[in-house]
Structure 1
Amino acid sequence: MARKKSRSGMWGRKTVVALAIILTAELVSGAPAKHPGVGKTSRDLENVSGSQMVDVIVQFKQTPTAFHHQKVRNHGGSLKGELGLIKAGAYRMPASAIKNLADDDDVAYVSPDRPLTSMSTPINDYHTLSINAPAAWNVGLDGSGIGVVVIDSGIVRWSPDLNSLNMSSYNVVPGASTYDEYGHGTHVAGIIAGTGASSSGFGYTYTFKGIAPGAKIYSLKVLDKNGVGTDSQVIQAINSVIQYKDVYNLRVINLSLGRGVYESYTADPLCQAVEAAWRAGIVVVVAAGNDGRNNAIGTNGYGTINAPANDPYVITVGATNTKGSSTRSVQVPASYSSKGPSLWDQVVKPDLVAPGNLVISLYQQGAGLQLSNQNPNNVVPYSLYKTFGSSVGSSSYFILSGTSMAAPMVSGAVALMLQKNPWLTPDQVKARLMKTAYKGMAKSATVTDTSTGGSYKVQSDILTVGAGLLDIQAALLNNDLAPAIAGSALSPVAKVNSAGNVVATVNGSSVLGGSSILWGSSILWGSSSLSGVDIQGNSILWGASSLQADSILWGSRSVNSDSILWGASILWGSNSGAPDASNGSLGDN
């Protein structure tokens, strides 16, 4: 129930142009585009000039000191904030001085302090049933003792549905209240740890409960009343999480926010920050983005993963549509969910998917709140879940859609896993989630957006659903251990041939790629192009017949015999695509 960017698009005109350039260079010609990290300034600074003042993040080759800050001042700049986590600082300086500053030997990279937004779309309970959350609750797991940090727009001042604390009322939005002035962060927090207290008891017909209702929610506010923040604000928040992780047992960060990709993750300051958290032992869960409908350059939404979801360390989550049912096999990818591979680096993303369409979670009430005021029809009527005395009271719940809502589903699942096995490292958590993800989703479907009337073709391929649908029960039952070393479960990288087809995945020593074949016998798309043309016919991805039988990727042939993930453990196994034992339907939503 997280809020990532709105489906209307985080991709502006300049970003679409950049997308066209990169995909043309790398996916069509097969030749790698010039790595943006070769230069010392990002491409989106090339068009700024003159005396105009620009907010930038300057990464140095060492943690900056007063000496380094003075160098920026010598160029007419001023320090806005320390970003020691990534050996950087946030500054405001004249555009005309950027090039000269970048030429300094102590400077590693200069990029704008870019704006970012939440990843939800305003428009149950089938969602928790379809990912097997009740299996955890039935054995007493609720996330107790685990601290989950929601870096977002803040959370509600008080709610009976949240066992929540604000970490030192931390807020990096200048002049803003510590509490949620937008509504997105509250919704996300409810998906992770809502207790359902406002919809439980006599006369209630539905209980809207989060995935890990016993987890402690710590809110770090980086998005303002309009759902907008900046890179430097998020980096400062991540730095605080690392500082206090042992004090509050902060094990998970949820980022239902993001922006476009402008350079390789190896240079992007936001990506460097999430990697620092990962190396510190914190699981970072990030919404993939809501640009899956972007067909501006004819890719049908492929290549639209947002930052920092493009980083190979983190767990990147796409969204599915439950189709109003708890039956997992009927779920399809949400048409707006961003698809891989990532720009510049061709990282195979998302890593897995979770329900993110029409999700009901906590409602931040109050005058002036943009999210609820602009979308009054999304407020869940009190009468929907309270039959006795339905004329009294007001709603505590709200409906949102987006990968922002899918990411907290996974964050809640991670809290459950860490409650059961506190010693699991981020890489071990990620590998288990991907290995046990449900592989039997509908291969393809045509979906219609009732609000716009638009029709979209969706398919459950590797660059849309990753390893598959979150399965909490299977993840909790799995005992396989990836190496504990940070980076042992890096997301694979797509290998593109001269025809522009993805033909293999590679990733060095990662258990999710390299010598251990994650996705099949190295052929993913066969004669099918990245845009998905002919994906079900001539493509090796699905084979010539059914998903469960003849597919080289998911079926019972070479994957089960040749692909070994760790030691003697079969990566996907012959039963990984078995249908859900509980195929009941609760109706349409």
Structure 2
Amino acid sequence: MSSAKGIRRAALAVGPVVALAVGTGCLPAAAAAAPQQPGPPVGVIVALDEGASVAGVETVVVRKGGTVERELPIVNGFAATVPRSAVASLRSMTGVRSVTPDGSGHLMAVDPVLGYDTAKDEGSLSFVRDVIHANDAWKAGYTGKGVDVALIDSGVAPVAGLTSGNVVNGPDLSFESQYADVRYRDTFGHGTHMASIIAGRDAAGTAASYTASTGYQGVAPDARIVSVKVAAADGSADVSQVIAGIGWVTQHAHDYGLNIKVLNLSYGTDSVQSSVLDPLSYAVEQAWRKGIVVVVAAGNDGTLRQELADPAVNPYVLAVGAEDPNRTIGSADDTVPLFAQRGTASRYVDVVAPGVHILGLRVPNSYVDQFNPLGRVGTRFIRGSGTSQATAVISGVAALVAQKYPTATPDQIKYLITAKAVPFPLAKKTWQGTGLVDVQKSLALRPADAPVQTYTAATGAGTLEGARGSDHVVIGGTALTGQKDIFGNTWTAAATWNGGAYNGASWTGTAFTGADWTAVKWTGADWTGSAWSSRSWVSRSWITSSWDSRSWVTGVWYSRSWVADSWSDASWS
């Protein structure tokens, strides 16, 4: 799904069997000796590239002595039993995207209240917390209490799990801010999912009660979300809005009773501009220098692009990649899914966290909800896969660490999270950074031992257009390009907030009213010279890298990111 490449919807599989055809896990290679023995048969999932001939590959499987078990149109492939010696040659065939082990099954004990098995469903937050040992922080009394996490995203919906008093609405800088019925609300569905992973909770409690509960809790259930909405119902957001949001968080981090220590940005563009020059990179670095731990998604375009998304490419921030636990708590068999951007030798992810079919809160009738009905679990939840979800996990971890060490600098918290992460053997260092985060080990380290980062300082002297990459918003057929922000004003790296004004225009009000930041009517012209008078905002390419959206609409959402035991409605895998 991209502006130039078009959108392909994954075909829906019939029945409760869906395949996982993602990750870097592999079957044992055939022996090098000749002649090869067929070896014992193994069950595999064969996933093909778009347009590749399933029938042609099935013919090869049969010719090699294998059996096609069932077709899986949702991954443009099929399940098969093949001689172990045939796996390598199948992988090398033109058009074959992946050949991965077919999962073994188990009976799931579905929680009738939540709608999934909290112990065995690896997408559940309970399972994720076990993987990263977050519960050890809770046992020690650290639940994120007193720490605010700024979430620059599509807003947060007041759904159960996010209504117990730990969400506050900062400014709405999105195109929807002009309409009272959708102001602050998450009409897209992405921000709510992130917020629930970071700090969701069914009810406020104590560290002991969270540990004992079987209900829904995020990684840091007592952290507070400060929602800064920048994206509209289809994900539309210009880089100038995101930069304005980062600037607002940086300026107001400790105003009005706030204590913003962490900024979650599950967003990225495919900019190729140097991180030293790039304005978006400059913005996150300024927040970092002001004492805010900026946690950024690596990006989900790994099959096409290995470089980290902008601004994860900035070396100061915490760049987060995704890992697949492969249904086990231990990390020895963990892999890095193919969708996740891994980076290059000069800049790769700092750390990874679970990011495969994660169960977060659903926003009924939002864009994500409407286009991904098979992702729904029970009545409250929806699954998402991507570095977005992994980033939210790490933001929750950062809140736990910041509670224990309230005076720690961003460099120190980055060290605490990454220094004792657990590397796993099935992925290169450039794919996993220091490895899978381990909260227990992070809390045992000392901030004083952290090195000070001394990378070249970003200047922001590059172009706003370069920061957009291929991502452009459109109104009335006119795309926003060049050095203009959404108001048509020439953007400058020196732009700062002055009350509710930013870069020469009035974007928002100047203070909180109850739990919401005040709004204003946009009276100026947009980049087309017209007034703000309709809801005709669209984006040409939010579905490429922005908001890590390959985990929301394409096959990543409910084909390559699903395994059979995710189907808790049938209770079987």
1:465 pairs with one of 400, 410, 432: 432
Q: How does 1:8-27 map to 2 (within 5 A)?
A: none
How far apart are the structure 1 equivalents of 2:214 and 2:316?
37
Residue 380 of structure 1 corresponds to 377
Residue 349 of structure 2 corresponds to 350
How far apart are the structure 1 equivalents of 2:319 and 2:130?
21
Percentage of matched positions with identical amino acids: 34
* Deviation for aligned residue 1:488: 7.2
* Deviation for aligned residue 1:479: 1.4
Residue 181 of structure 1 corresponds to 187
2:230 pairs with one of 216, 222, 232: 222
Question: For residue 275 of structure 1, what is the amino acid of its counterpart?
Answer: E
Whether the 8 Å CA contact 1:250–1:282 is kept in 2: the answer is: yes
2:285 pairs with one of 268, 271, 275: 275
Backbone CA RMSD of aligned residues: 3.0
> Are the structure 2 counterparts of residues 263 and 328 from structure 1 closer, same or farther at C-alpha, using a change threshold of 3 Å?
same
Whether the 8 Å CA contact 1:171–1:178 is kept in 2: the answer is: no
- Confirm or deny that 1:172 pairs with 2:174: yes
Residue 269 of structure 2 corresponds to 259
Whether the 8 Å CA contact 2:301–2:339 is kept in 1: the answer is: yes
> Are the structure 2 counterparts of residues 358 and 206 from structure 1 closer, same or farther at C-alpha, using a change threshold of 3 Å?
farther
> Are the structure 2 counterparts of residues 407 and 12 from structure 1 closer, same or farther at C-alpha, using a change threshold of 3 Å?
farther
How far apart are the structure 2 equivalents of 1:398 and 1:318?
21
Moved more, 430-439 or 420-429: 430-439
* Deviation for aligned residue 1:168: 4.1
Question: For residue 290 of structure 2, what is the amino acid of its counterpart?
Answer: A
Whether the 8 Å CA contact 1:126–1:325 is kept in 2: the answer is: no
Whether the 8 Å CA contact 2:308–2:347 is kept in 1: the answer is: no
Residue 394 of structure 2 corresponds to 410
Q: How does 1:118-137 map to 2 (within 5 A)?
A: 124=124, 125-137=126-138
Q: What number of residue pairs does the alignment pair up?
A: 333
* Deviation for aligned residue 1:251: 0.6
How far apart are the structure 2 equivalents of 1:359 and 1:158?
18
* Deviation for aligned residue 1:335: 1.6
Q: How does 1:500-511 map to 2 (within 5 A)?
A: none
* Deviation for aligned residue 1:347: 3.3
Whether the 8 Å CA contact 2:320–2:350 is kept in 1: the answer is: yes
* Deviation for aligned residue 1:409: 0.6
Q: TM-score, normalised by structure 2?
A: 0.54
* SS of residue in 1 equivalent to 2:220: coil
Q: How does 1:59-98 map to 2 (within 5 A)?
A: none
Whether the 8 Å CA contact 1:166–1:220 is kept in 2: the answer is: no
How far apart are the structure 2 equivalents of 1:462 and 1:152?
29
Q: Which runs of 5+ in 2 are unaligned?
A: 7-122, 458-563, 567-573
Whether the 8 Å CA contact 1:126–1:324 is kept in 2: the answer is: no
How far apart are the structure 1 equivalents of 2:199 and 2:350?
22
Q: How does 1:483-562 map to 2 (within 5 A)?
A: 487=454
Whether the 8 Å CA contact 1:166–1:218 is kept in 2: the answer is: yes
2:414 pairs with one of 424, 430, 435: 430
How far apart are the structure 1 equivalents of 2:231 and 2:361?
18
* SS of residue in 2 equivalent to 1:407: helix
How far apart are the structure 2 equivalents of 1:488 and 1:480?
20
* Deviation for aligned residue 1:205: 10
Moved more, 167-176 or 346-355: 167-176
Residue 212 of structure 1 corresponds to 220
* Deviation for aligned residue 1:484: 7.4
* Deviation for aligned residue 1:364: 1.2
* Deviation for aligned residue 1:277: 0.3
Residue 396 of structure 1 corresponds to 380
Question: For residue 211 of structure 1, what is the amino acid of its counterpart?
Answer: V
Q: How does 1:303-382 map to 2 (within 5 A)?
A: 303-341=306-344, 347-365=346-364, 367=365, 369-381=366-378
Q: TM-score, normalised by structure 1?
A: 0.53
> Are the structure 2 counterparts of residues 471 and 483 from structure 1 closer, same or farther at C-alpha, using a change threshold of 3 Å?
closer
Q: How does 1:128-147 map to 2 (within 5 A)?
A: 128-147=129-148
How far apart are the structure 1 equivalents of 2:331 and 2:360?
21
Residue 36 of structure 2 corresponds to none
How far apart are the structure 1 equivalents of 2:148 and 2:4?
33
Residue 23 of structure 1 corresponds to none
How far apart are the structure 2 equivalents of 1:469 and 1:435?
11
* Deviation for aligned residue 1:182: 0.7
* Deviation for aligned residue 1:227: 1.5
* SS of residue in 2 equivalent to 1:275: helix
Q: How does 1:469-480 map to 2 (within 5 A)?
A: 469-480=436-447
> 1:319-343, CA deviations, whole angstroms, 9 ceiling, x for partnerless residues?
01111222222221122110111xx
